[in-house]
Chain A
Amino acid sequence: MKNRATRLFAALSMTASLSCLADYQLNLQEPVNDIGRRIYDLHTFLLWICLAIFIVVFGAMFYAIAVHRKDKGHKAANFHESVTVEVVWTIIPILILVVMAYPATKLILQQKDTRGADMTIKVTGYQWKWGYEYMDGEGQGVKFLSRLATPQKQYDGVDNPTPDAKDEHYLLEVDHPLVVPVGKKVRVLTTAGDVIHSFWVPALAVKLDAIPGFIRDTWFEVDKPGIYRGQCTELCGKDHGFMPIVVEAKSEDDYKAWVEKTKKEMTANADDPNKVWTMPDMLARGKQVYEANCAVCHKPDGKGQGAFPALDGSKIAGDPAHKADHIHLVLNGKNAMPAWGKTLSDTEIAAAITYERNSWGNKTGDLVQPADVKAARQ
């Protein structure tokens, strides 16, 4: 018996020492704003109350199990009701709940109060990425999409049994983070382009559903500079787990500098909607757009998978007679296929369509110009 106990203890202590290598986080993430701290503290308060109730309730039950047993010779008592007792153990829980409800009520009202915001950002959920648009303040007009930056080679082990090693922020990294200044009340408007998504950053204690066709609002602020990571929190289709949110909080000066830089980049990169493209340029651009947006469903080889049809050899992409249908479909979507007209520019759509119509086995020779796409939007 002593030997067994010693061995068990040794095993447990080894596990305990190994645990420093593992991440066994037990509680909410470290909050970086007032609301987050209040929520953290309220949760701790609730846990203490639960512990107290646990001790009383389970204490009574375990005592009965230990002492009031037939095999210890205990004879059953005869009582079977007591109005007094019932009233007491109805009133006490009600009082406990009132004590919980008071701080909770204050917090709800605080969370809902989006007045007096220093800036407003519109957050749009798409399948499967986020769009951010700065609606006012210095950053007004800054608008970009934010996609998962972890390469597919790291996460997809189904077709490829030897995926690459996972980097530090696996599945929680994006190409363009949402940048905000510290110490400012940021009002967030959420909406969606297709199905319901949900915008959540645990460390900022902000979560709000993004509902297609509707606008909801909430707010957050960040006390200190840093990078805070979150995820979509409402099932939105196959890549629901692959559309993270990264918020980068910068000091006021750094934020201003970022705004300047971003605005310059946006103007530089903006496609001229009237440009007439050559086929080789269009195909090169189209391959980029296709692989960033379309390949996730239709595959890089155009052969599709499961419910997502093949484009290679399809009527809509391979038959010159269906060019207009092709443009219409990409612009407006259908069922699970998003309406790309909402998130991609005329140039990007023209490029992707041109690429699809002239790649793999498709040889239509069609060159779709941004102006054609613009006309089809009417």
Chain B
Amino acid sequence: MTTTTHTPDHAHDDHGHDHAHDHPTGIMRWVTATNHKDIGTLYLWFAFVMFISGGVMALCIRLELFKPGLQFFRPELFNQFTTLHGLIMVFGAIMPAFTGLANWQIPLMVGAPDMAFARMNNWSFWLLPPAALLLMISFVVPGGAAAAGWTLYAPLSTQMGMGMDLTIFAIHIMGISSIMGSINIITTILNMRAPGMTLMRMPMFCWTTLITAYLLIAVMPVLAGAVTMVLTDRHFGTSFFNAAGGGDPILYQHVFWFFGHPEVYIMALPSFGVVSQIIPTFSRKPLFGYHSMVYATSSIAILSFMVWAHHMFVTGLPATAQLFFMYATMIIAVPTGVKVFNWIATMWKGSLSFETPMLFAIGFVSLFTLGGFSGVVLSITPVDVQLHGTYYVVAHFHYVLVAGALFSLFGATYYWLPKWCGNMYDEKMGKFHFWWSMIWFNVTFGPMHFLGLAGMPRRIPDYATQFTEFNQIASIGAFMFGLGQLIFLYNVIRTIRGGVGPAPQRPWEGAHTLEWELPSPAPFHTWEEPPTRELVERLSAEQKLH
């Protein structure tokens, strides 16, 4: 087992020479970062800042919705908050956070010294802050930010002011960033695995990241196409979405959702991968049905291309289309269910312990399953006629995205932070963060199921008085949930600065993947010599991988 470590302090740094193996310090270290660990760190901090911004917008929304009547924000501004909350959370928080995880973990877990294209990796990250800036600036341009919902349906989106153009530009930039990142991930995973690490021996997190990268390359260009058509309809005289010119507004929805549905799996699959690492570790038992998990993930990815029109059940699709998309959507529940069963089978007859990462993983399995139930209800077209465009849908996707993707990101952070920074986080604080988030999340989004059933539409700043009570409960929950995230921030910063003490190389006794063979913190350069075949074989045997 040989790893060379590389300490950053060189005696000859004093001369300021630019050696090929030196790395810059200060701000230039970050601006010109090509190291996957630094870039991972940049993505994760960027994602956290975006999470807070998107969260503040959500709190503005819940503040306005606390009571019926307009109290704080005009409807135009409220719609801007709704739209930007969605765009920022999807494109600014969740996706970059998973990319940051992938950057940190993929090379460590496959035994590679870095990502395949280290410089392109730098661009992948640095495109994001300007895109985020464009979105933020759109609030103060004439007409304000885009206010057509994150889905930007035409022709409403063709009507808006220049905030829409800034948003379109930002989406293009973020799309390019994602595509470049995906090229990097695919090349790294396919070409730079250590000897002995076959595809069917690599960690599930690597599989889900690989499949997600393919999804991204397939659909980000489709989104770019959709928003470009909006741009040309707005400024260059085209009529893609204008019936008077021979176009069709529904074309936008087809193109957008062909991107949009795989997009939600792009946000879900990495969370499946994280949970597939955490649960075996804290069950002290190999992941149940590794092959099945790989096939299930691939099935979900392929099926995700065939279900998009379930977002369009009330647009007047022909009966055949409604039937097809209903059946296809229902089928996706099967491989997803298989994954849930496999996680529980991993826990079954294990030797469970419940450190913070495991709490978030279990929370994920529980609440993602509930989100799956509301998803199945929505997939049934006649029922969707009553629920489409209501708060039931808002409840559904927040269960799978917040209790799903976000919880898995929290779990991943607690799980890998000791490896990243070499210190242990405060376990009591971590558990508190979990329970606080778990409780207030459900207080916020649970009632929204009832609001949707009772008849409250979404994207409205004011509502009929019978919806008051559940809205009040949801708003209180939201503020409390948001408050609790400050504890996470405090714990993370405190850990980086020393935490409760240095972390061992293997803080989790049940962990058997490659990154735990490295010191904590992982040195700046790792796996410059790949892990030996013997090591890879031994770890694979411990995980019962063939």
Contact = CB atoms under 8 A, between A and B. Distances in A.
Contacts of A172: 464
Contact of A43 (B74, B79, B377): B377
Interface residues of A, number: 102
Nearest to A74: B351
A367 B287 CA distance: 81
A46 B322 contact: no
B459 A81 contact: no
Nearest to A217: B316
A213 B288 contact: no
A69 B315 contact: no
A154 B70 CA distance: 9
A57 B341 contact: yes
Given A93-B334, A155-B69, A158-B73, A336 B349 contact: no
B519 interface: no
Interface string A136-161: 00000000000000000011111000
Interface in B148-169: 148-149, 153, 155-156, 159-161
Contacts of A71: 353
A80 interface: yes
A320 B76 CA distance: 32
Interface string B361-380: 01001100100010011001
Contacts of B377: 43, 46-47, 50
A206 B314 CA distance: 10
B457 A233 contact: yes
Contact of A109 (B243, B319, B352): B319
A108 B316 CA distance: 12
A112 B322 contact: yes
B323 A85 contact: no
B382 A64 contact: no
B417 to A, nearest CB: 22
B155 A61 contact: no
A304 interface: no
B521 interface: no
B160 A336 contact: yes
A229 B465 CA distance: 13
B283 A76 contact: yes
Contacts of B354: 65
What DSSP secondary structure best describes chain A's contact surface? mixed
Interface in B64-90: 68-76, 79
A239 B457 CA distance: 13
Contact of A42 (B73, B243, B380): B380
Nearest to B455: A202
Nearest to B381: A108
A356 interface: no
A26 B340 contact: no
A3 interface: no
Given A50-B373, A93-B334, A108-B326, A209 B353 contact: no
Given A26-B453, A207-B386, A234-B389, A79 B288 contact: yes
Contacts of B156: 195-196, 235-237
A163 B381 contact: no
B501 interface: no
B382 A108 contact: yes
A241 B463 contact: yes
Interface in B488-546: 544
25 contacts: A22-B468, A24-B450, A25-B466, A27-B454, A35-B382, A46-B383, A57-B340, A60-B348, A68-B352, A76-B351, A77-B350, A86-B289, A108-B322, A170-B68, A170-B464, A195-B153, A196-B153, A207-B389, A212-B243, A214-B316, A231-B457, A233-B314, A233-B457, A234-B389, A241-B463
Which 7 residue pairs across A and B have the least CB separation, nearest first? A213-B243, A241-B460, A216-B316, A233-B389, A107-B382, A77-B349, A25-B454
Given A54-B369, A75-B351, A196-B153, 8 more contacts: A35-B382, A86-B289, A86-B338, A100-B380, A158-B71, A211-B316, A235-B458, A235-B459
